[in-house]
A and B are shown apart, each in its own frame.
Chain A
């Protein structure tokens, strides 16, 4: 076997041969990339549901296919299907409905939508019970059969596994805002240990509902700068005040370099390393010394076998919350030292918002396109720099640069810290 097919630890090199993207910027890789690199924002005033009384009234939504009877899990599944279809077509792996490997799925937990709850509640039942007892009676009559099995957490994986013909049990993941990256991690690990030659990694989030807006608002996580939606997400700026909820999906087809080469597939990039470190400081905040994030970064660089100087670009988690951007900068500084000043870093979330469960995978897909095109998407809305954050954030306008190796960060509530390193095809 040629040396290039193994990595520095003599493991099979894992490549990406297909990507698919759906976001508030559009459908498909091409539309997304042209909007992202021209600095467009997908953030708008929410019109899907009335926002009366909500502190935050903007989001980066993806048009729902069924706006009359919108249900979040249907929307998440629909976007997942679309991004996966695009990625599989590009990859050309397997055949229709027959993917030669397992599914790793990043998907939101699915509580009953309020649409469903109020629909169930208004139906008559045989007794005068109220609340859940009433809704259970209505469900037993079989009034809304379409609600089953939407609200089982295994449903999305079941539907996608059946449609795309993946092998074994789908692995449905939930690591908060790191989930998209976790799905890629698990896919890579399955390949590295020889369980499979290919893995389908799908991440999706269509869970922007009134209740989710309220829930994140109650944690003071969202921006309230509703006036000009396009300007609200401003990672690394002094006047940032929270993230913007957003929807989207991305799929990455992973396979061994060897199998991709053998079938003549185009190599979009390689997943060169992954690093993780759980934080035990607080449910929503990082250790003040940044040690968990720093540990995740260092683990990723070590796993990839690259020195900090070899990172050409950092795709930031960059949520636009006070806490995240401060800690991300602090931790990168500690991990990279002086050379950080030479490395451009930008946040896709300045344009597409925070796609939560899907973010890590969407940002991985955009990272592949950066490697392919030599274009770094900007951090838009960077007008008032935060004097405490000294980073080259690629402000407002894209930059052309040959990019061989990228670090992509994903951090989530519950102490989730995942870092991935991507590179171009080995020469």
Chain B
């Protein structure tokens, strides 16, 4: 039954990843391991003056066969449903109702892109209308497409995944920008560890070609307004983030469940911690220190591979870098990689992207080369049995995870 199992380890047995640099685990691995800092896909034209990392083209029909389904979705739902399908295929669970019907879904989601043309048209007419309120009601009634509501509706990424892929256990959608991604993975992880389920599909999707989100973030001066620069180089003024498209889904499975069906893990999720603060100077660092204290009993001193979701927004990004550097004083040799430099900020998908990258690297037994030429990102010399993932949300939320490798089993190579 869906809700009951035995407390167990959490294995990552499937990854579905689509971003601005590619599709699938192997394409990402190749792209990120060329011996040089990875090439970045930046679009500085479409939303100029704002840069974004655009979604690569995908052949939707391979994961969302029905045209009718594709038409009912917004871009972000198509991206997420596609990535979810990749994860299920990767875990060898696609089209297997005996598993999918009991599989639990935890999705991190915001809302879909508004119809910016309709909004603009209404705004143009509103000012000069004889009766602005009546004009607004009439325009909304006539111009909004009935399908737009569902294409934007937060929990309809999960709904579409259920419809297209047949995942029908429990279905929870969590929100809160990056916090949504952290709490989605934390919830599923704790459920498996606590014996409340043994098979989960968890992730999120963000489609970057949308001005409505840039408006929301620019209210707080949070967007990077200069030509592309990697995260650590955005230390001018308030810094800023560059939004990036990503769909990232993971199949999480209890060890027992995976072994019973002969599934090999990429990695194990050891712990996911999350907290928040109003972000006065030093508060995020204090949280991170507490989190690290809780995790360090499982982390040997010496070289430490770290993925960070740093956004580029200041002062948080510099504060985080100093926290990571200070791990030297604790006996560690931190080698960190800001994956936002390559992927951009993928909001709800941002933390799932980090977990996917960590799991891929662990299964390959090799950590990533530096993602930029800032010099902050040091060559990593240790073994690759565990990766620390640190993710501070663009506005709020401090997440930290330890992803490692289970004992007494063979890992799968990324395929």
Contacts of A154 in B (CB 8 A): 175-177, 179-180, 393, 395-397
Contacts of A387 in B (CB 8 A): none
Chain A proximity mask over B292-320: 1 for CB below 8 Å, otherwise 0: 00000000000000000000000000000
Given A168-B274, A280-B163, A414-B159, A210 contacting B396 (CB threshold 8 A) = no
Chain B proximity mask over A274-318: 1 for CB below 8 Å, otherwise 0: 111111111110000000100000010011000000000000000
Contacts of B396 in A (CB 8 A): 154, 158
Chain B proximity mask over A117-137: 1 for CB below 8 Å, otherwise 0: 110011000000011110110
**B220 and A118 contacting across the interface, CB-CB below 8 Å:** no
Given A276-B171, A278-B171, A52 contacting B395 (CB threshold 8 A) = no
Q: CA of A371 to CA of B190 in the docked complex: distance in angstroms?
A: 32
Contacts of A51 in B (CB 8 A): 137
Give the contact stretch, choosing among A23-31, A80-88, A185-193. Answer: A185-193
Given A50-B137, A210-B140, A172 contacting B155 (CB threshold 8 A) = no
**B158 within 8 Å of A (CB atoms):** yes
Chain A proximity mask over B79-121: 1 for CB below 8 Å, otherwise 0: 0000000000000000000000000010001110010100110
Contacts of A415 in B (CB 8 A): 159, 162-163, 168, 171
Q: CA of A210 to CA of B135 in the docked complex: distance in angstroms?
A: 11
**A153 within 8 Å of B (CB atoms):** yes
**B114 and A140 contacting across the interface, CB-CB below 8 Å:** no
Q: CA of A122 to CA of B396 in the docked complex: distance in angstroms?
A: 30
Give the residues from 103 to 129 in chain A that come closer than 8 angstroms, CB to CB, to chain B. Answer: 107, 109, 111-112, 114, 117-118, 121-122
Q: CA of A382 to CA of B150 in the docked complex: distance in angstroms?
A: 31
**B2 within 8 Å of A (CB atoms):** yes
Chain A interfacial residues counted at CB < 8 A = 83
**B195 within 8 Å of A (CB atoms):** yes
> Which residue among B146, B155, B190, B194 has the maximum number of chain A CB atoms within 10 Å of its CB?
B155
Q: CA of A139 to CA of B212 in the docked complex: distance in angstroms?
A: 12
In the complex, which range does the number of interface residues on chain B fall in?
35 or more
Q: CA of A214 to CA of B395 in the docked complex: distance in angstroms?
A: 32
Given A136-B211, A193-B194, A292-B168, A131 contacting B120 (CB threshold 8 A) = yes
**B216 within 8 Å of A (CB atoms):** yes
Give the contact stretch, choosing among B12-20, B25-33, B181-189, B260-268. Answer: B181-189
Given A154-B395, A414-B153, A414-B158, A195 contacting B110 (CB threshold 8 A) = no
**A135 and B215 contacting across the interface, CB-CB below 8 Å:** yes
Selected from A50, A186, A192, A299, the residue in CB contact (under 8 A) with B194 is A192
Question: B330 to chain A: closest CB distance in Å?
Answer: 24
Contacts of A36 in B (CB 8 A): none
> Which residue among A109, A118, A277 has the maximum number of chain B CB atoms within 10 Å of its CB?
A109
Contacts of A330 in B (CB 8 A): none
Contacts of A162 in B (CB 8 A): 276, 278
**A157 within 8 Å of B (CB atoms):** yes
**A299 and B2 contacting across the interface, CB-CB below 8 Å:** yes
**A148 within 8 Å of B (CB atoms):** yes
Give the residues from 184 to 213 in chain B that come closer than 8 angstroms, CB to CB, to chain A. Answer: 186-187, 190-191, 193-196, 211-212
**A132 and B211 contacting across the interface, CB-CB below 8 Å:** yes
Question: B390 to chain A: closest CB distance in Å?
Answer: 14
**B179 and A210 contacting across the interface, CB-CB below 8 Å:** no
Question: A268 to chain B: closest CB distance in Å?
Answer: 24
Contacts of A412 in B (CB 8 A): 155
Given A161-B276, A278-B170, A172 contacting B150 (CB threshold 8 A) = no
Q: CA of A323 to CA of B266 in the docked complex: distance in angstroms?
A: 44
**B214 within 8 Å of A (CB atoms):** yes
**B323 within 8 Å of A (CB atoms):** no
Q: CA of A251 to CA of B104 in the docked complex: distance in angstroms?
A: 26
**B137 and A303 contacting across the interface, CB-CB below 8 Å:** no
Contacts of B172 in A (CB 8 A): 173, 175, 182, 186
- Chain B minimum-CB-distance residue to A144: B219
Question: B185 to chain A: closest CB distance in Å?
Answer: 11
Q: CA of A102 to CA of B141 in the docked complex: distance in angstroms?
A: 41
Q: CA of A131 to CA of B144 in the docked complex: distance in angstroms?
A: 16
Contacts of B132 in A (CB 8 A): 118
**A109 and B144 contacting across the interface, CB-CB below 8 Å:** no
**B365 within 8 Å of A (CB atoms):** no
**B59 within 8 Å of A (CB atoms):** no
**B21 within 8 Å of A (CB atoms):** no
Contacts of A112 in B (CB 8 A): 212, 215-216
**A214 and B179 contacting across the interface, CB-CB below 8 Å:** no
Selected from B72, B111, B137, B169, the residue in CB contact (under 8 A) with A278 is B169
**B180 and A152 contacting across the interface, CB-CB below 8 Å:** no
**A149 within 8 Å of B (CB atoms):** yes
Chain B proximity mask over A249-279: 1 for CB below 8 Å, otherwise 0: 0000000000000000000000000111111
Given A111-B114, A169-B275, A413-B159, A53 contacting B141 (CB threshold 8 A) = yes
**A193 and B170 contacting across the interface, CB-CB below 8 Å:** no
**B153 and A139 contacting across the interface, CB-CB below 8 Å:** no
Contacts of A152 in B (CB 8 A): 176-177, 216, 395
Contacts of B127 in A (CB 8 A): 118, 121-122
**B177 and A413 contacting across the interface, CB-CB below 8 Å:** no
**A153 and B110 contacting across the interface, CB-CB below 8 Å:** yes
Q: CA of A399 to CA of B278 in the docked complex: distance in angstroms?
A: 49
Give the residues from 38 to 88 in chain B that come closer than 8 angstroms, CB to CB, to chain A. Answer: 72
**B162 and A278 contacting across the interface, CB-CB below 8 Å:** yes
Contacts of A9 in B (CB 8 A): 4
CB-defined A-B contacts under 8 Å, sample of 26: A50-B137, A52-B131, A53-B138, A111-B114, A131-B120, A135-B215, A153-B111, A154-B179, A162-B276, A168-B274, A168-B275, A169-B275, A171-B187, A174-B175, A175-B155, A175-B158, A175-B173, A189-B191, A193-B190, A193-B196, A275-B3, A284-B150, A303-B3, A413-B155, A413-B156, A416-B159
Q: Give the top 4 A-B pairs by smallest Cβ distance, nearest first.
A: A193-B194, A414-B159, A131-B120, A154-B176
Residues of A that sit less than 8 Å from B by CB: 9, 49-55, 107, 109, 111-112, 114, 117-118, 121-122, 130-133, 135-136, 139-140, 144-145, 147-149, 151-154, 157-158, 161-162, 168-176, 182, 186, 189-190, 192-195, 210-211, 214-219, 274-284, 292, 299, 302-303, 412-416
